[in-house]
């Protein structure tokens, strides 16, 4: 074997050794990264699991949420708010922790903090539906948009809208008069009427004409298109919120519900941005509760009779609205028991100490459960909190309510800009 052959063998051996060393270093580096992340995740998991919560297992998370139907999730959450101290508990959606809080003191520390202005990343699944608006925007965009809109949605603007509202309400009255005898307070109803489609179209027509200046007249033509869009909207949101795997765009792209987005996008600005859905839901729940409490309905009727006399189709004014004190109490109590948005979602950049032994780590999603005030095992906010009692919002009693014990429009810097239009 000559010298050239020896050099060739040595060169090949050197290359093999270099490749082996690189592979070994790569394996070591990957192993170190995996072990480092595993230790961090383990430490993070232990930190989260110091907060009590339902049974969960690694990777899969809280199994109950995977097993039960979507329609039962909210009821399960309510049961957990009753079970765990102060309604505070943690659960896992796959490997993502979510902390639920309910105590007004805890809610105040989250919603009232300027360190929790950033919306949780989970809101990003809404962007294909509603764009980069106040709900989904990052802090700089939110501040800019809010400054533009805040002067357009306030109590002073109601006076401009009263004419449209009166006209639509008269149409609403005429249609219900034909559909049922429920508008006749002097007689017993002769048939049942589903109010949902009528109230939904009422709210939609008012929103369209007051905010957009366009007349849809869905009450007159009995259109169900936007009701169907609303249902699709809720279906998409609930599935993507409570099924973490559907938040991966590549999974969502092949999911059957993906086709709903095209339908929703065509109407989303009209349907979602300005509270059509929340307004109609509040009116429906208020009608439902008053219907189940005829003695309270009689009080509302007496108040209307005192203001309008026997006129069934009056032209309502701002002064009339200010005199509807008992109706206002009924609306507030409805929103307490059935808030339009029962769960608020925030995400902070820093650890938050709710109690000396209860700390929420940074970048963890925090849900404020607004249903706690009507489901708590302890009357920490309201007496007889499971009773529908508008009197708790009477002028001489409302001061006794915790500042963050009633927040159907959220509170703090990122509260709802439509709060001033509550009675309207």
Q: Is there a contact between 93 and 65 (Cβ–Cβ < 8 Å)?
A: yes
- The separation between CA 404 and the C-alpha centre of its own chain, rounded to angstroms, equals 17
Enumerate residues 6+ apart whose C-beta is below 8 A from 175.
198, 219, 220
Closest CA to 108 of 413, 417, 418: 413
Enumerate residues 6+ apart whose C-beta is below 8 A from 338.
281, 282, 285
Enumerate residues 6+ apart whose C-beta is below 8 A from 190.
180, 181
pTM: 0.75
- pLDDT of 140 higher than 80: no
- What's the confidence (pLDDT) of residue 271? 46
Kindly state the average pLDDT of the residues 322-349.
86
Closest CA to 401 of 419, 387, 371, 381: 381
- What digits encode the pLDDT tens for the residues 233-285? 777 777 776 676 776 676 767 677 776 665 555 444 444 444 567 788 889 99
- pLDDT of 122 higher than 80: no
Is 416 marked within a binding site?
A: yes
CA distance 245 to 239: 10
Kindly state the average pLDDT of the residues 291-304.
95
Q: Helical H runs in 243-378?
A: 249-252, 260-271, 276-292, 294-308, 318-323, 325-337
Closest CA to 381 of 104, 90, 174: 104
Given pLDDT bands bounded at 50, 70 and 90, which one contains residue 307?
Answer: very high
User: Which tokens go with 277?
Assistant: 């859905």
Q: Is there a contact between 14 and 51 (Cβ–Cβ < 8 Å)?
A: no
CA distance 216 to 202: 10
CA distance 89 to 138: 27
E strand segments, 273-401: 343-347, 352-355, 358-360, 365-369
User: Which tokens go with 406?
Assistant: 């009633």
- pLDDT of 214 higher than 60: yes
Rg (CA), the chain: 28
For residue 90, list its beta bridge partners. Answer: 99
For residue 105, with 0-12 CB atoms within 10 Å meaning exposed, 13-18 middle and 19 or more buried, which class applies? middle
Domains of the chain: 140-342 (1.10.630.10)
- What's the confidence (pLDDT) of residue 394? 94
E strand segments, 79-196: 89-93, 96-101
Instruction: Write the DSSP symbol of residue 405.
Output: T
- pLDDT of 64 higher than 50: yes
For residue 408, with 0-12 CB atoms within 10 Å meaning exposed, 13-18 middle and 19 or more buried, which class applies? buried
Instruction: Write the DSSP symbol of residue 363.
Output: T
Enumerate residues 6+ apart whose C-beta is below 8 A from 334.
282, 285, 286, 289
Least confident of 100-109, 213-222, 310-319, 339-348: 213-222
User: Which tokens go with 310?
Assistant: 């026997």
- What's the confidence (pLDDT) of residue 2? 56
């Amino acid at each position: 074997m000559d010298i050239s052959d020896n050099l060739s063998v040595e060169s090949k051996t050197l290359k093999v050794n270099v490749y082996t060393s690189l592979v070994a270093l790569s394996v070591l580096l990957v192993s170190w990264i995996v072990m480092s992340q595993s230790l961090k995740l383990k430490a993070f998991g232990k930190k989260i699991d110091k907060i009590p919560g339902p049974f969960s297992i690694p990777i899969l998370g809280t199994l109950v949420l995977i097993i039960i139907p979507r329609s039962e999730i909210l009821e399960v959450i309510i049961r957990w708010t009753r079970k765990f101290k102060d309604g505070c508990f943690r659960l896992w959606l796959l490997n993502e922790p979510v902390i639920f809080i309910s105590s007004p003191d805890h809610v105040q520390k989250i919603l009232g903090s300027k360190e929790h202005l950033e919306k949780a990343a989970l809101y990003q699944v809404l962007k294909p539906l509603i764009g980069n608006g106040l709900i989904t925007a990052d802090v700089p965009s939110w501040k800019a948009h809010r400054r533009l809109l805040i002067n357009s949605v306030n109590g002073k603007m109601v006076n401009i809208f009263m004419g449209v509202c009166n006209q639509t309400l008269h149409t609403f009255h005429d249609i219900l008069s034909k559909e049922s005898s429920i508008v006749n307070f002097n007689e017993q109803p002769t048939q049942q009427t589903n109010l949902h489609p009528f109230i939904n179209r009422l709210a939609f027509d008012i929103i369209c004409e007051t905010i957009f200046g366009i007349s849809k007249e869905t009450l007159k033509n009995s259109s169900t298109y936007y009701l169907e869009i609303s249902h699709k909207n809720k279906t998409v949101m609930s599935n993507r919120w409570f099924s973490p795997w559907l938040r991966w765009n590549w999974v969502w792209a092949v999911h059957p519900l993906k086709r709903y987005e095209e339908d929703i996008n065509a109407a989303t600005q009209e349907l979602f941005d300005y509270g059509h859905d929340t307004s109609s839901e509040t009116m429906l729940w208020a009608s439902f509760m008053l219907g189940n409490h005829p003695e309270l309905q009689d009080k509302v009727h007496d108040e209307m009779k005192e203001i309008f006399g026997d006129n069934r189709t009056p032209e309502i004014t701002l002064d009339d609205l200010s005199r509807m004190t008992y109706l206002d109490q009924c609306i507030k109590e409805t929103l307490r028991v059935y808030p339009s948005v029962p769960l608020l979602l925030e995400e902070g950049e820093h650890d938050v100490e709710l109690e000396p032994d209860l700390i929420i780590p940074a970048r963890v999603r925090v849900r404020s459960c607004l249903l706690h005030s009507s489901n708590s095992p302890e009357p920490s906010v309201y007496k007889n909190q499971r009773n529908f009692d508008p009197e708790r919002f009477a002028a001489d009693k409302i001061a006794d309510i915790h500042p963050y014990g009633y927040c159907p429009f959220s509170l703090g810097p990122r509260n709802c800009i439509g709060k001033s239009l509550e009675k309207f």
